[in-house]
Structure 1
Amino acid sequence: MAVTVTAEGGPAEQARPLPDVPGPRSWTRAFDDLSQGWRQRSLWGYLGWQDIKQRYRRSVLGPLWISISMAVIATAMGILYGALFNEDIKTFLPYVATGLLIWNFIQGCILEGSEVFIANEGLIRFLPAPLSLHVYRLVWRQVLFFAHNVIVWVILMIIFPHPLGWMSLMALPAFAVLVLNGGWITILSGILATRFRDIPPIVASLTQLVFFMTPIVWSYDRLQENPAVAERARIAELNPVLHFIEILREPMLGDAITWRHWIVVGVITVVGWAVALVCMRNYRARVAYWV
């Protein structure tokens, strides 16, 4: 150890440089937050499941109400819009139900994501946990809702069989992509909504509008087959939610895979995570003060 001599002639230790500690705005802390949150998956996995149990506490059917609600809404909308658009109920009802199944997952990530940090104000202020833990918890809860609603899809596939084949296995990576996008949507909308409290009601209003602009209760292919509106129907592809719906609905119904939907979704995924990570890097440390 290097020493120096003081004015009195005694030895003194040489000052050592302080360790390089990353500041609050650093990529290191942003990625550490995501990795630490992932390592605590036993915690947020348990909390996500408890969220569902608490919502249906003292109910006789419990979480089964998730599937019942989904089945009632899908059946009612399928029959109603099938009659309006003169569609065959055997194909249109599974089409609508599968679209609603996927939409509910996307909508949950958007709506609940915009309030994920506001709703966990107490935990964020007093519990020294990574911010991403609340993001993982919310996305996991939406995955559980999706798993419950898949029961409706299984029943419809039994009643109205579709030509499912090996390409239907593409539903697995498609759902994984949806979950991945649910992460950046929750991070981005959660941080922005925590800073600007007007964002949650704005997001709720826009989400209702997007629902009717997305081919969930109406068929995009039918519009393309109509020469009178075929050109204008392509405007619907400017809606990014359409591509997320189709990458999963096509394999779940045994339809041919349209790869341009995958390309669009891939680009959105990369850009979305890039923006979310920048937001995480710059404003992660401020969320505790904003809530």
Structure 2
Amino acid sequence: MVAPLLRRLRGIELKTPEQVRAMRVAGLVVADALAALRDAVVPGVTTAQLDRLAETVIRDAGATPSFLGYQGFPGTLCTSVNDVVVHGIPDDTVVREGDLVSLDCGAIVDGWHGDSALTVAVGDVSAAEQHLVRVTEEAMWAGIVAARPGARVGDVSHAVESHARAAGLTGIVADYTGHGIGTALHQPPDVPNVGRPGRGVRLEVGMVIAVEPMLTLGEPDTDLDEDGWTVRSADGTRAAHSEHTVALTESGPWVLTAADGGRDALSRRGVTLSRDAV
């Protein structure tokens, strides 16, 4: 069970080091699920089959899917193919050569949530689509690097936006954002993917946030399908999504949903991983 003694600042959970370590357990379950899914995204597989694989990995680890039943969502995964930006529902859609498939996954362990997403290019895709996938992930890491105690949420948002724009992508989806995470899947503060530096909530030690840019090859506008979940690029261009859950500690960031805690990606960006990381 979740320890009941949670500090809060302006309604935002501030986790103790012990609580962050508990969240790491959920984060590693998500990391394992996404690793299995990355290998399973091949031509001919259906998004429903990917969903079943994710649920198997999560439950075999003694965890519970975060998304299944969340506000009525019918799947363990969000499976977003091609022009679907986010919240695609797993079904009989067949993955084909040349598709972009975004997979968003969450798990709960002892009441703590982990949440992460990645986009897989299936076989040969265009150079522009490869660029989209790569820049989306890089923009996420730019946001994570900017997420440090004393900074503000706007600094994270600006880092994501600036990286995408510098790479020539302007389809930075603003309608859907990153978020705080902990005893609930989505909680304050919102972490937008566009913003001005020095604005918004001040980041503090003990905060845990999900940084998750969603980019398109065209414009940032989106449409919502009649199912009430599936979000598509309004102009029909392809989209990518990347996300990690990151804890802010006294000694640096700890990426709870990365198998290595973020060590490799952070070191390549000149950032030292938290001493708490295990």
TM-score, normalized by length of structure 2?
0.33
**Structure with more contact order per residue of length (Cα contacts < 8 Å, sep ≥ 6):** 1
Q: Which has the larger Rg?
A: 1
Q: Is the strand fraction higher in 1 or 2? A: 2
